[in-house]
Structure 1
Amino acid sequence: MHVSEAECDGCGSDSEDGRSVGELLLPQYALATGGLAKDHRPLITFPDHNNFHLLTAAEYRRLLLYLTSVPSILEAEMGFHIIIDRRKDRWNSVKAVLLRISEFFPGIIHAVYVLRPASFLQKALSEVSNKLFKEEFRFRVLVCSSVEELYEHFDRSQLTADLGGELQYSHSEWIQQRIALEKFSTLMKEISSKLDDFMHEIVDCDMGNDPTQTKELLDCQESRYKSLKSELSSATTQGEELLTQMRKPNLTYNIISHVAAVERLLVQLEETEKQFDNFWQKHSMKLNHWLMFRTFLLNFKQMQVKLHLLLE
């Protein structure tokens, strides 16, 4: 039984090489707000927080692997749009981000939009550097002098307020929901693994050579089956509670995607439980038939002994 969702290390994962994903999400080096371009490709944003230089190469890779796993597989396969906001920063910072992206980006890049530095000196420098972009990077780079230029490619409803948009985005809420979603996904994977182990263990087990052995085996396996069923029921309850917490009036796209992810996990969980029940029904029927057969043989042998004694 395969369970798949949240295809990444996870918000709370530990790392021997730098900070965990959860630690890397907090400073907002890069964001996956759920916004889409007009061509429906997902958006990754590098906000203007003057902190990108604090990321090591390994941490950058870890963070981007995570963020590009957030959209659906279908969306991710279409490729990404990237916005680099450096209006309050220096031109060197713009180039540093572009170089890092050119070295590693775990997906197809449709276009990169650079909101260039706004100071007079940096503007002058960008005029010169602007011409080098189209030759230096393998992806398309569009340098924008203002956020209004972004509106040719993005509806304002898909951009956050810092980009002059209308998309309601709470980073703390997004992180909390990602953590909850991945905890639920991890729980499902653990249960699925337990079910697989149990089924592989009992499918070809020795069913015993006498009714007592077979009955003990049946009782033991039935007890474990009921225990696993209880875990499945508990997981379903947790998933439904998580879904209730996430569902609110006027959901934004990024929250809708979380709701959809939980719904997919619940559907997978339901299908997993059906497969497990079908397996147990067939297996327990086989054991019960074997128990009846061994009981019949035992009774038959006992009758033979009695008849033999009577005939003597």
Structure 2
Amino acid sequence: MPPPENSVARGARAEDIIHVLRDRVALLPGARDRDNRPIVFVPAKENSAQINPDHLRNLLLYLYEVTSDDVKENGFVFVIDMRKGTTWNVVKPVLKCLQEFFPGTVTAVLIIKPDNFWEKHKTSVSTGKYKFDIQMISIDNLTKYMDAGQIVREFGGSLFYDHEDWLDLRVDIEKLVWRSSEILRHFEKYSTLMSSSDIPVDVVKAEEAISKHQKLQSLIASLSVEGVEADVEQLKKRIFNECEYLPVSSNGSILHSTSNPDLSSIFPHLVQLTKTLARTRAEISCQWELKKQDLDQCYQMKLFEKDAESAYQWIRARCNQLSHSFTITGNSESDTDRLLTEHKDLTNGVDKYEISYNHVMDVGRRLHKLQLEQRNRLLKLTFNVHQKCNLFLKNYGNWIENVGVDPSLVMDKSHDELNAFLEEHDSFEQVFENVYSEAYADATQLSKMMKKIYGENVGSAQSYKQLLELIQRITHAKRNLHSIWKSRRESIHYRMSSAIFSSDMRSVIDWLEQHGEPFLRRKIAIGQDRVSATSLSVNHENFRNVAMNTYRNANQLFTMAAELKNAGEVNEEETTQALLELRRKIDSFRKKVDMRTNLLFIASNFFLHYDEIMAWYCKMDDRLASLSVVPESVEECERNKEKLQSENDGTLQAFARVIAEANQLHAALQQQRVVLNVDNSEAIRHVENLARNIENRQAAEKDRWSSQRIYLNAACKVAVFLRDCSEIRRQLMSWSEDLKGLKHSVSNKADVVMHYHRQNTESVRSV
């Protein structure tokens, strides 16, 4: 009884990498994208410390192991956050480990753009060398790839995820599985111990075997299956009731949460594990009871053998004594009296021992009766085996000539008729399986009984060899019958799959022609502003989700067609042409859907930037008033000139970008007109009017720039003039103070004073 197949049984344990898991290097919240692929989130790291490659490899291997098995084959999506200062040196080892060690298929890696320009540049340059698709996106565009309810909060979504709770659950689940596996190993050990024990050879050995067997019962009872069942129930409540009390977001709404599918997928395995434990314990208990009966019977037999041997020896001794002294009558009266007394004692002893003798005989008769009953059960079971095996082999001749439904008789039948034939075919299998199961079950029971009776010598018993031959005959016949039945069922199933394929092919094409294409031709508007464009984008996203189902149905049809062609159940040439036509329609439809997605994206950006640049122009209208005021300092004037030039350059760049977006939107609308053959002239005129408004405002603004530069140049000259006037006034005041001090100068210093006076005069004139 091996342990169950799960991540724990395969060796991966959370406790082995608990330190890495607690660091939140990668998160597996149970999220799925729109293609039902599991999502792994790698949060941003504010520090630039690199992760140990071995720890990272073990972490990714563990996350793969604990992901639900039913979605692993869909591939994995990794979302890596490079905000908050996360560097390329931190992300690079993650991508390298994904490429070299991750056992699953990585279908996409979405990197949230870093804040730093150089990190963004390094990342975009270095991501082209990996075998999986890597895209750099903004945090707002993450909802294009997955629903907001499947994105954890720190990545801008509404999925509630508590990493510590997840980690505690994983540890508890793995501890429970390991404990259950340990109980199963003990059960297997005890079962082997009971089945391999030797048959006691005497009473002492039988008593020792019974004592050991009683202790084994205590060991079996100490393995608490009820405790495991209670822990499984607790885990069930924790897994499925984790969203009963959810926190509230900052805007007052309840955060989105569902039970983690990767955690909830383990619950059926846990339930199956508890059932295995309960079933195994019941089998062990039954085995213990049967073994106890065998040991008790063996003890009774050995005790009987001992008592019978003792009785035999006692009777033999008395008989020998009687025979030896039978003719001795004594030589005198006293001697004869002594012999008579001894004979009376012997007679009394025989009478008393008769009770023990009768007890031994009763035990012998009872044991003999048990053997007779066992023999009776053996013969009855053997009779049932022969009867049921003969019934199966007798019917086999009729069954093999007409195995269920002949596929050649169900050609060109409808789906409902094929389904009825399939049910009839399955009912035939149920008939011969039931007869075989009854015969095989009785034969297996008889085999166990013979092994118990014959012991180690069962292989040499002729009756056991005959039983094995009979089992082989019915097993071979059943396999042959089932092989033909299975082959015919596959043929009928392929017939039905072919009918379903044709019906589904028509349904997909009808949806494309009657719903998908007309919807795209009706919904051609791009809105009048950003709000209406965003609303249209939301509606289109809902339509894309519906279209995804059609894509999936088409992919299933391609897979089904390959199986049908390999089975030879369809016309290969016609099917290939039909698939090519379907592929062409799907590709054309997908191209149109993507074209509208891109159109609405361009329109939303253009309307947003239109509002921004028009608001900027309004702000520029108020700039002239501030330019007419002359600043007090020349430095501030220079700063105003630099600011004016910078704002003008920025305005030119913004104008060029918005006009480019207008031209891009105009080209997309022209493409829409040609591809869908629709009249979208109103939307084109609206875009042209908006572009014309921008051009007119830009032309008017550009005309004012020369006068604004004149204002600033004049302001700079006035500021320089005011600065020079202030300097002249300061020097004149200083000269005046110097002249006042010269009034009392002596005559012998007049030449020196005159020299300094001339210098001051020249300085003032030079200003």
Query: If the TM-score is normalised by the length of the shorter chain, which range does it land in?
Result: 0.7 to 0.9
Tell me, which stretches of 5 or more residues in structure 2 are unaligned?
A: 245-256, 320-767
Q: How far off its partner does 1:209 sit?
A: 1.7
Q: How far off its partner does 1:310 sit?
A: 4.4
Amino acid at match of 1:3: P
Seen in structure 2, the aligned counterparts of structure 1 residues 296 and 95 have a Cα distance that, compared at 3 Å, is: closer
Distance 1:284 1:147 in 2: 66
The answer to whether the 8 Å contact 2:240/2:259 transfers is no
Percent of residue pairs identical: 22
The answer to whether the 8 Å contact 1:207/1:287 transfers is no
Matches within 5 A, 1:257-276: 257-276=262-281
Q: How far off its partner does 1:205 sit?
A: 0.9
The answer to whether the 8 Å contact 1:218/1:284 transfers is no
Residue among 114, 124, 127 paired with 1:133: 127
Matching residue of 1:225: 217
Seen in structure 2, the aligned counterparts of structure 1 residues 45 and 308 have a Cα distance that, compared at 3 Å, is: same
The answer to whether the 8 Å contact 2:42/2:79 transfers is yes
Distance 1:299 1:95 in 2: 82
1:108 matches 2:101: no
1:67 matches 2:63: yes
Amino acid at match of 1:230: S
1:10 matches 2:13: yes
Seen in structure 2, the aligned counterparts of structure 1 residues 301 and 229 have a Cα distance that, compared at 3 Å, is: closer
Distance 1:78 1:256 in 2: 15
Distance 1:254 1:126 in 2: 35
Q: How far off its partner does 1:215 sit?
A: 4.4
Superposed CA offset, 1:245-299 (max 9, x none): 4442636445454344245224312212312322441353144135314413542
Q: How far off its partner does 1:48 sit?
A: 0.8
SS in 2 for 1:83: strand
Moved more, 296-305 or 265-274: 296-305
Matching residue of 2:362: none
Residue among 205, 211, 215 paired with 1:213: 205
Q: How far off its partner does 1:175 sit?
A: 1.3
Seen in structure 2, the aligned counterparts of structure 1 residues 23 and 216 have a Cα distance that, compared at 3 Å, is: same
Residue among 170, 173, 184 paired with 2:162: 170
Matching residue of 1:281: 286
1:23 matches 2:23: no
RMSD across aligned positions (CA) = 2.8
The answer to whether the 8 Å contact 1:24/1:63 transfers is yes
Which one has a larger percent helix, Structure 1 or Structure 2? Answer: 2
Seen in structure 2, the aligned counterparts of structure 1 residues 295 and 203 have a Cα distance that, compared at 3 Å, is: same
Q: Per chain length, whose mean CA-contact separation is higher, i.e. which structure has more relative contact order (CA < 8 Å, sep 6+)?
A: 1
SS in 2 for 1:69: helix
The answer to whether the 8 Å contact 1:47/1:85 transfers is yes
Q: How far off its partner does 1:239 sit?
A: 2.8
The answer to whether the 8 Å contact 1:6/1:185 transfers is no
1:37 matches 2:33: yes
Query: What is the number of equivalent residue pairs in this alignment?
Result: 300
Seen in structure 2, the aligned counterparts of structure 1 residues 277 and 80 have a Cα distance that, compared at 3 Å, is: same
1:190 matches 2:182: yes
Q: How far off its partner does 1:27 sit?
A: 1.3
Q: How far off its partner does 1:172 sit?
A: 1.4
1:296 matches 2:301: yes
Amino acid at match of 2:270: L
Residue among 225, 228, 232 paired with 1:239: 232
SS in 2 for 1:203: helix
The answer to whether the 8 Å contact 2:50/2:89 transfers is no
SS in 1 for 2:65: coil
Distance 2:273 2:163 in 1: 28
Distance 1:241 1:212 in 2: 49
Q: How far off its partner does 1:201 sit?
A: 2.4
Q: How far off its partner does 1:58 sit?
A: 1.0
Amino acid at match of 2:31: G
Distance 1:112 1:249 in 2: 29
Amino acid at match of 1:115: I
Distance 2:157 2:14 in 1: 27
Distance 1:133 1:292 in 2: 78
Matching residue of 2:149: 157
TM-score (norm 1): 0.83
The answer to whether the 8 Å contact 1:160/1:166 transfers is yes
SS in 1 for 2:14: coil
Distance 2:87 2:38 in 1: 27
Seen in structure 2, the aligned counterparts of structure 1 residues 229 and 297 have a Cα distance that, compared at 3 Å, is: closer
Distance 2:242 2:165 in 1: 15
TM-score (norm 2): 0.36
SS in 2 for 1:68: helix
Matching residue of 1:17: none
Larger radius of gyration: 2
Distance 2:217 2:107 in 1: 50
Q: How far off its partner does 1:103 sit?
A: 2.7
Distance 1:51 1:200 in 2: 57
Distance 1:307 1:192 in 2: 49
Superposed CA offset, 1:103-128 (max 9, x none): 3213221211111213344444555x
Distance 1:286 1:96 in 2: 60
Distance 1:289 1:224 in 2: 15
Superposed CA offset, 1:225-249 (max 9, x none): 3433332233323333343344426
The answer to whether the 8 Å contact 2:109/2:133 transfers is yes
Q: How far off its partner does 1:159 sit?
A: 0.8
Distance 2:179 2:232 in 1: 10
The answer to whether the 8 Å contact 1:29/1:51 transfers is no
